[in-house]
Chains A and B, each alone.
Chain A
Amino acid sequence: QKEVEQDPGPLSVPEGAIVSLNCTYSNSAFQYFMWYRQYSRKGPELLMYTYSSGNKEDGRFTAQVDKSSKYISLFIRDSQPSDSATYLCAMRENDYKLSFGAGTTVTVRA
């Protein structure tokens, strides 16, 4: 069993829809949770990071963490074609090592 599971998709939505992305994990020691966006053939860029359970909002993006269920989510409201990318969840304990999900590829259709 992988330490971090992420549905690979692909996910295709019309412009303006809400995109919902999820990851589950097995290591209860994870404390810090991140979402990265990766455009094709580029390096990932950090979108959101949260500590412990709860919600965090940044513009059209909302990150949720539910530590009791070992489940994290990213929501993208009013999706745009420019949001078409692969989204990677990542998490860590209190050290340098990040554990990544496999990534979900999202296409937003104009």
Chain B
Amino acid sequence: DGGITQSPKYLFRKEGQNVTLSCEQNLNHDAMYWYRQDPGQGLRLIYYSQIVNDFQKGDIAEGYSVSREKKESFPLTVTSAQKNPTAFYLCASSIDFNEQFFGPGTRLTVL
């Protein structure tokens, strides 16, 4: 089955820790995205990548980092510099500008 997988589903982070969220797609899409969703707010773009080995900052990139070494994979690291990381994180991919397909999400909680 084609699709986007994210792991883990739930993640708990201690203060000062870096954590990495996984995103894998087998849709053969060139573009991949990371969003953050908070209650009462729309999805906000953290980073996006249009092609392997290239990525751009979105609206809220501070405290996050990404890599795009393979077409299928776009991991997101939440660093200790992100002061309010508790949120629902969504990964998406697209073959063109319009139809972004989303993964099931990772819920990150800071302890």
Contacts and interface: CB of A to CB of B under 8 A. Distances in A.
Contacts of A46: 99-101
Interface in B61-111: 90, 92, 94, 97-105, 107
Contact of A97 (B41, B45, B101, B102): B45
Given A42-B105, A43-B102, A95 B97 contact: yes
Interface residues of A, number: 26
B37 to A, nearest CB: 9
Interface string A65-95: 0000000000000000000000010101011
Contact of A100 (B4, B43, B50): B43
A44 B97 contact: no
Contacts of B102: 36, 43-45
A101 B39 CA distance: 12
A43 B58 contact: no
Given A42-B105, A43-B102, A45-B102, A102 B97 contact: no
B49 to A, nearest CB: 10
A103 B58 CA distance: 20
Given A46-B100, A97-B58, 14 more contacts: A6-B42, A32-B97, A42-B105, A43-B90, A44-B43, A44-B90, A44-B102, A45-B102, A90-B42, A90-B43, A96-B31, A97-B45, A97-B48, A102-B41
